Structure 1
Amino acid sequence: MKKIFSMNRFEGWNLSLPLIQGGMGVGVSLSGLAGAVASEGGMGVISTAQIGFEEPDFVGNEEACNLRSIRKHIVRAKELASGKGMIAVNVMVALQQYREHVKEAVRAGADAVICGAGLPVDLPELVEAGKAKIAPIVSSRRAAALLLKTWDKKYGRTADFIVTEGPEAGGHLGFSREQLDDISKIRFEEELTGIVEEKKKYEEKYGKQIPVFAAGGIWDASDAKRIEALGADGVQAATRFVATKECDASLGYKKAYVNAKETDVKIIKSPVGMPGRALNNAFIQKTERAPESVERCYHCIKNCKPAQIPYCITQALIRAVHGDVENGLVFCGSNVGKIDRISTVREVIEDLMYEKEVKMP
C-alpha cells in the first residue's frame, strides 16, 4: 500500500500519519478511541463536552466532574497510545466551561487543543506557547483570516495547524441552514484552497509550517487524495471511527450507524443554536412536533435558556451514547449510510491513508 500524504510538513510532531480523528461528544470519542488512533500514529481527539457524564456525582456537580474526567481520559489515552501519535482535546467555544476545559487539558498533558463551535479568539491566552499546539476549526477563508489576524495582532502568535470543516461533516456545522439545504452551492473546495493560501503569510512571518487538515465527508483514500490535490496536508475524519470496536460509545449507538441509510440523515436545528447533521430518528421527529420538557440545567452551553429550547441536548446525547438511540440525539456525517459493519481503528486508517495497489493481470 502507498501512503497518500507526505510528512514533510510535520517535522517535530509525534505523528507518523497526518490524520486527526474528529472529536465527538457526548461520550463518543473519549480515551478508548483517542488512544487507539494515537497508537496507530495519528492524532486521537477526546471531546470534553460533558465528559464527566459517567461520574457518579455528575448531576448537580457537572463542572467538577468534567474537569476531573478531562484529566482522567487524557492520562488513560496516553497510556493506551504507548508514546505513539498525539492526544488532543476538542473543546467547543460554546461551552460554559470553555476556558476552564482548555486550561485543564493543557495541565493534564494534552498535546493539542482544537476548538470549534465558535471562533476561539482568546485561545492563545489560555495555552502558553510550547505547552500544547493550538488549532481552530473554520469553515471559510474569511473566518480563518479573521482569527489568524486577531491572534497575530493581539498575542503575537499563530495557529500550529488548522482544521477546515466542510458542509458534509457531522454534528454542529459552521454554515447557515439555508446553505446546508443545498450544499452544492457551498464552494468548499474554493474555501479550502483559500485557507491554504491565507495561512502562508503567517507561515512566512513566524517561520513555521501551519498544516491544514480538511474535514467533512472524508470517506476513503480517494477522498484523501482529492483533498491533498487541493493543498491540504492531512485529513480529519470522525463518522467512520464511530463504528469501530475501539469507539467509546455503546454497541447500540454503533449499530445505529451500521443500520443507517443515506435517507435517514437530516439537518436539524440544535438547542445550541447552530444547524447540525443527525439521524432523523423518533426523537428528532417527536421534538419537531412538540418540545420536550426541560426539567433542569446541566450548565453545558453558554446563553442556553431552558424554557426556550426544544429539548436538553445534554440529556439527549447521553441517552443516545448509552444506546437509547430512538430517544436520543445521534449526530453523524453525510457518509453514515455507507457504514455496513463494525470494524477496527486500524482498518479505518488503512482505508483513509493508503492507496490500494492495483495488481496487473
Structure 2
Amino acid sequence: MKALNSLNISGSEVLPLVEGGKGISATNGASAGAWAAAGGVGTVSCVNADNFDENGEVIPQIYHGKTRIERHAELIQYGIDGGVRQVKDAHDIAGGKGRIHINVLWEMGGAEPVLEGVLDGAKGLVHGITCGAGMPYKLAEIAANHKVYFHPIISSARAFGILWKRAYKNYGEWLGGVVYEDPWLAGGHNGLSNAEDPFEPQDPYPRVVALRKMMNKFGLEHVPILMAGGVWYLRDWEHWFDNPEVGLVAFQYGTRPLLTKESPIPQGWKDRLLSLGEGDVLLHRFSPTGFYSSAVRNKLLRDLEARSERQVEFRRKAGVDEAFNTEVAIGKKKYFVKEDDKASVLEWVEKGFDTSMRTPDDTLILVTEPEAAEIRKDQKDCMGCLSQCKFSNWSQNPDTNYSTGRGADPRSFCIQKSLMNIAHGGSLEDNLMFAGHAAFNFATDPFYSNGYIPTVKELMERIATGD
C-alpha cells in the first residue's frame, strides 16, 4: 500500500487518521489523548461528557430540578464540566503530539453554551471542533472567536454549499477540514435527506468528488476532506490517495477505536463487538432526533420495531370519518378503528399488549402497562438533552413555550437515558448500542483473533499498513 503522507489538520502536520467523536462517553480524554500521542487527531466527545471526583470515580449525572428548564440548566453545566475535564486529560496524555478535537452535536440540548463553556474552560487546549447532526450555521463564528479550527460534518456537497454560502465564507481561514460522513455506512446519527433512499446505498466516491469540486470552486483546495463511515482497511481506499479528483484526504474512524485498551466503553460492550455478524447493525428512524441512525439490532431496537408494528389509526368518536366506524375497547378506553383493523387490535390485547398510547399522527400503539409506565416516567424526567425531542415534545426554544408543538411520541425512546446506561455498564440488550455498518469485520479481521484488544497506538500502526 502507498505510504500515508501527513496532512496539515487544525494547524499542524499529523497522520491523516482521525478518531471519530461517537457521542456520549464512547470517546473521552484517554482515547483521544492516546490517538493524538500516536500522531493523529484525537476527538473528545463533548456530548454529556463524564467528569470525575477526587477519587477518579465518574460523577453520576443526577438531576434535581423540578422543571425541565431547571434540569436543562443542570445538563448544560454537567456538559461543560465534563468536557473541560476530558479535554485537559487528553491534552496531558497527548504530550504535545497530534491534535485534539472536540465533537458536539448541533442538535443536542444547549450545544452553543456547552461549546462556549468548554472552549473557555480549556482555553488553548482544543485545536478543532467537529460538529454535525443538523446544520450548524453558528459553528464557524464560535470557532473563529476562539481561534479554533472548525470541521463541519456533512453528507452531501449540497449541504456544505448551503453552509458555506450562508455562514462559513466569512470565516474561511478557520475551516480546518470537511467531514464527509457516509449516511448509509456510518454509525450513530446519519444525514440522509428526504430525497435519498435509506435502502439504496450510494457509492461514496462520486459524492466526495462532487464535494471536492464544490470546495475547489470556493477556493478550498488546501482544505482536506475527512472520509467517515465504512472505513476499515485502508487498502480498500488506496485509489483515493494522491487522487486529484478527491484532493487532500484523511480518514476518520469511529467503530474500530471502540475496541482498544484506552476505549472507555465497558468490557461487555467490547466483547459484543467481537461477535457481530454482517447485517447486525440496523439503519433505523426511532431516534427522538428524527434523524436516521445506525446501531446494533438488539432487544431495544427489536422492541421498538414491534411497538411500531402494533399500531393502528383511530378516531375518538364515531361519525367523524366513515371509514372509522368499528368500536373497539382497549382496557377502559374505547376507540373507533377501521373494520379490517379490529381483529389485529384484539389479538394484540389478548397477547398482553392491553394499554394504548396515542401518537402525534392520530394512531395508537399497544404496549403492556409496565412499558407504558416506563415511557411516561422517561417523558416526565426529560432534561432537554436535545434541542427538540420527538419523545418528550421538549424544545429549548422559549418562544414556543419550550414545546415542539406536537404531542410526545411513544414510538421513540429516551436517548439520553439509554446512551448513559450502556456507556456505564448497563444492559447491552435494553440500551442503544451505536456502531457503524463495518463492525462485522471485528469477527473476521485476524488482528482481533482470540479476542485480542489492541492499544490505540497498535491500532493506528495496523491501520497504516493497510490492514
1:8-42 CA distance string (max 9 Å, x none): x5188334301110001211001111111011011
Aligned counterparts of 1:143 and 1:176: Cα–Cα separation in 2: 10
Determine if contact 1:20/1:237 at 8 Å carries over to the other structure: yes
What TM-score does the superposition give when structure 2 sets the normalisation length? 0.70
Task: Decide which moves more: 232-241 or 71-80.
Answer: 232-241
Does the alignment pair 1:150 with 2:150? no
The AA in structure 2 aligned to 1:279 is: V
- Contact preservation (8 Å) 1:106, 1:131: no
- How many residues matched? 349
Match for residue 197 of structure 2?
Answer: 179
Structure 1 residues 38 and 155: CA distance shift in structure 2, 3 A? closer
Once the two structures are TM-superposed, the CA of residue 188 in structure 1 deviates from its matched residue by 2.1
| Contact 2:24–2:48 (Cα < 8 Å) also in 1 | yes
Tell me the equivalent position of 1:59: 63
- Quote the Cα distance in structure 2 between the aligned partners of 1:156 and 1:81: 28
Cα distance change on mapping 1:304 and 1:247 into 2, 3 Å: same
| CA displacement at 1:151 relative to structure 2 | 2.8
Alignment of 1:209-358 (within 5 A): 209-228=222-241, 229=243, 230-269=246-285, 270-290=287-307, 293=375, 294=378, 295-305=380-390, 306=392, 307-309=408-410, 310-323=412-425, 324-340=427-443, 341=451, 342-355=453-466
Higher alpha-carbon deviation: 237-246 or 141-150: 141-150
The match for 1:6 is 5
**Equivalent residue in structure 2 for 1:95, among 103, 108, 124:** 108
More deviation, 70-79/214-223: 214-223
Deviation digits for residues 36-79 of structure 1 (CA, Å, limit 9, x no counterpart): 10110111111112214842354243221111011000000110
User: Structure 1 residue runs of 4+, over 4 Å off?
Assistant: 152-158
After superposition, the C-alpha distances for 1:277-312 in whole angstroms (9 at most, x for unaligned) are 110001111233237612411321011141315210
CA distance in 1 between counterparts of 2:257 and 2:384 reads 28
Asked if structure 2 preserves the Cα contact closer than 8 Å seen for 1:15 and 1:43, the reply is no
The TM-score with structure 1 as length reference comes to 0.89
> Which residue identity does 1:326 align to in structure 2?
E
> Within 2, Cα distance between the matches of 1:275 and 1:57?
27
Is the 1:203–1:210 Cα contact (8 Å) retained in structure 2?
Answer: no
1:52–1:67 CA contact under 8 A, matched in 2 = no
Distance in 2 separating the partners of 1:171 and 1:122:
23
User: Structure 1, residues 199-223: CA drift from partner, whole Å, max 9, x if none?
Assistant: 123336xxx8211111110001213
Distance 1:264 1:233 in 2: 29
Tell me how large the CA RMSD over aligned residues is. 2.3
2:403 — aligned with what?
none
Residues 1:123 and 2:139 aligned together: yes
SS state at 1:308 partner: coil
For structure 1, list consecutive stretches of 5 or more residues without a partner in the other structure: 357-361
Equivalent of residue 69 in structure 1, options 82, 86, 95: 82
Does structure 2 conserve the Cα–Cα contact (< 8 Å) formed by 1:92 and 1:117?
Answer: yes
Aligned letter for 1:331? F
* 3-state SS in 1 of match to 2:263: coil
Displacement, 1:4?
Answer: 3.3
Post-superposition shift, 1:129? 5.2
Q: Which whole-Å CA distance do the structure 2 matches of 1:352 and 1:210 have between them?
A: 23
Does 1 or 2 have the higher relative contact order (CA < 8 Å, sep 6+)? Answer: 1
Which structure 2 residue ranges, 5 or more long, are not aligned?
Answer: 52-57, 65-73, 308-370, 393-407, 444-450
**Shift of residue 224, structure 1, vs aligned partner:** 3.5
1:79 maps to: 92
Structure 1 pair 257/125, CA: closer, same or farther in 2 (3 Å)? same
Tell whether the 8 Å contact from 2:9 to 2:177 is kept in structure 1 after alignment. no
Cα distance, 1:106 vs structure 2: 2.2
Return closer, same or farther for 1:253/1:59 CA change in 2, 3 Å cut-off: farther
Match of 1:359 in 2: none
CA distance in 1, matches of 2:454, 2:79: 30
Question: Is contact 2:38-2:98 (8 Å) kept?
Answer: yes
Closer, same or farther in 2 for the Cα pair 1:141/1:328, shift >3 Å?
A: same
Cα separation, 2, equivalents of 1:240 and 1:11 = 21
Question: Superposition pairs for residues 155-174 of structure 1, below 5 Å?
Answer: 159-166=175-182, 167-174=184-191
Residues 1:136 and 2:152 aligned together: yes
Does structure 2 conserve the Cα–Cα contact (< 8 Å) formed by 1:220 and 1:353? no
Q: Is the 8 A contact 1:253 1:322 kept in 2?
A: no
Distance apart, 1:268 and its partner CA? 1.5
CA, structure 1 residues 5+148, in 2 after alignment: closer, same or farther (shift >3 Å)? farther
Of 38-47 and 12-21, deviating more is: 12-21
